[in-house]
Each structure stands twice: as structure tokens, then as C-alpha cells.
Amino acid sequence: MKHASYIGFILLAGFAFIGGTSCTKEVSGEFTQYPNNPLNDTVWSTSLKPTDAANTIVNDVMPAVETETINLENTLSEIKVGGNDSFRISFAKGIFTSVENGVITPVKPEGTAEIQIFRIRRTGDLIKCLRSTQSGSVLMESAGGFFIRVLKDGKELSIASGGSYVVKWIETGADPKNDMRKFYAKESNPTPDYNVTDPNFEWKPDAYAAAIPLFWESGNPRLTGYQITLSSLRWVSIQRNVVVNASDKIKLTTYFSSNYTNKNTAVFAYYKNQKTVVKLDFDYATRSFKTELLPPGAEIKIVSISKIGTSYYLSEKEVSKLTSASCIIKLEPEKVSLAKLQAYLDGI
């Protein structure tokens, strides 16, 4: 396996040479030996397991869900998540169903239900849940998103066929844009918890292609936020396409010393001036991470997060402007505490 790893680095070095205008120095395959340490595991995998650290790190960096309670007997239940006007949810009476053994049953409008919520407000929130802002091979800009789960007596509820609920969302630090659309998530079945990596996760545009309506607050002459009518719970995102000509896309490749592998590391590139995030795919043959979704001229930062044993590692590199057709960059993670890693993600 060490021989295979060496071949991978030779291949990547060849790419660097061919590129000519590479963003970095040539590739080397250095390996640092750490006695009796998980850092010595330099073996890459052709496919990841749910138990690999690159997947389980999401459970470490994701915060607990916010919780709210609604009275199902109310004609209309309105929630200000965390007591904040920036995220409001309205549920009408009698819109929930439960599913058991394939049988859909209306939920009686009595008692209470618990609402579990995770908000995607920042770029760092997307990285925490290992999500990118892309739909298939289309790069997207996000105005935010959220995870909403409704539970009654320990059972997860759904929205009844033909039913809907309303979310009012105010994006922090940005005026609303009039061409955003709603996206739901395609997930595995059964659906995993919010803080578990889902290999089948993908943002899918709503069949209704119209832009999300905007709303004004009373007494405020400026547009305030997005008013979204939704027919499904769980993951929702507010997004629009980033215009990229297929012929202009940049191939971005990142590599590490041999201690960092696809089993313990995840790599992201994000725009500095908007919520656009790409999760780089691993390339087993060259032992590197890459994407071909970014356009020339993009002002980005590249971030890697790693977990090796019980230790965490973080690297960041700024690329002032993507210009060459092929850009190869070496990342050099530094050991950080979990608290420092979380604080970093909270700040981007």
C-alpha cells in the first residue's frame, strides 16, 4: 500500500508539471513518522465507511439542535426560533401525519409536538454538516437554510399531502435577492439524524421553479427577507445558480503530507464574499482532493478539517484569484482543540 501511495504522489506531481501555471510548488510525498500514533495510517480507501473519521467528525463539530414546542390544538402555531425574528415558522392546525410500516396516519390535533431545528446561517455551518452549495454539478449561492424535524411521542412527523407551512427567513448581513429558489434534500432511506453524514445527500430544486417571494416588515420601507411556503420538513436551502461557463471551469487540486488521507480529512473551497461552498472530492489514484466547479476569477479560501485518533487538525489557504486552468495547492494542517475548530467554523 505504501508503494501505491508513492505512485499516487508521482502522478499528482506529473499533473503539477503539466499544468505549468500551477498555484503552488511541485508535489512531494513526504511522510512524518509518529511512534504508536494513528497518524501513521497513510492508507487511502477507494470508498469511505460511515465509521471513517472524515465522516464522523460531523458529529463532533455540529451543535445540538435548537428545540421549540407547539400546541397542536392551536389554529395557527407561530415560532420565533430562539426568540429571534430572523427565523419564524408557522404551522396550521391538522397538517401533520405519521408513517408506520408504510401506513400514513393523520395526527390528531391534540397535545404538543417538539420542533428540532438547525440553522445554516454562515459558511461555517455548511462545513460543519459537510454540505456544499451545489445541486448535481451546478454550483449555487445560498442565502441560508435549515433542518426542521417535528416529533410527537418520539415519532417523527411529516406534512400531510396537500398541506404546507410557512417560514420567514432573514439572511444575516445581506439584503434579500429576488431570484432565490427553494431546494429540498434528497436523503438516504431511512433518513439519518441531522449530525450523521449521508452519502446520498443532494440538494434538489423544488418542482415549482418560481423565485421565493420577499417580504417587508411593518414600518420598514426596505425588503426584509424571504417568505417560503414549504410542503416538506427536514433539510431546506435558499439558493440560486452561480453562472459558470463549462469551458471556463478551473480544476482545483489539493494535497497533503501522507499522514492526511481521505479517511480522516475533508476539504472545502468557499467564496469569501458569498455563501458558496464546494466540498472537494477525493481522487484515490493521485491521493488528492479536487473539484472542477469553480470559475476563473473566484476569490476563495480553501479549508481542510481532519480527525486523526482523538486529535483535530485545521488548515486554511487563501487564493486571491483563480486564473490558471489547473491549480494545485498543498495544505499543511495544524493541530487544534475541538473548541478552536468550532470557533473557527463559527467565524466564517
Burial of 234 from C-beta contacts in 10 A (0-12 / 13-18 / 19+): middle
Placement of cell 424535524 in the chain? 149
Give the rounded percent of residues in the chain with a pLDDT score beyond 90.
76
All three cell numbers of 176, joined, read 434579500
Tell me, what amino acid is at 134? Answer: Q
Q: Given CA atoms 282, 287, 289, 293 in this order, what sign does their dihedral have? A: negative
pLDDT exceeds cutoff 50 at 46: yes
Sequence-separated contacts (24+) of 175-180 with Cβ below 8 Å: 175/222, 175/223, 176/143, 176/214, 176/223, 176/224, 176/225, 176/226, 177/143, 177/240, 178/211, 178/214, 179/211, 179/240, 180/143, 180/211, 180/212, 180/226, 180/238, 180/239, 180/240
Q: What is the pLDDT of residue 222?
A: 66
Terminal Cα distance for the chain, rounded: 37
Placement of cell 487544534 in the chain? 336
pTM over the 0.95 mark: no
Confidence of residue 2 (pLDDT cuts 50, 70, 90): very low
Q: What is the pLDDT of residue 218?
A: 73
**Which domains occur in the chain, in start order?**
2-61+244-346 (no CATH), 66-241 (2.60.220)
pLDDT exceeds cutoff 80 at 35: no
pLDDT exceeds cutoff 50 at 21: no
Q: What is the pLDDT of residue 27?
A: 40
Mean pLDDT confidence for 156-176: 94
Least confident of 84-98, 186-200, 214-228, 257-271: 214-228
Least confident of 86-100, 219-233, 307-321, 330-344: 219-233
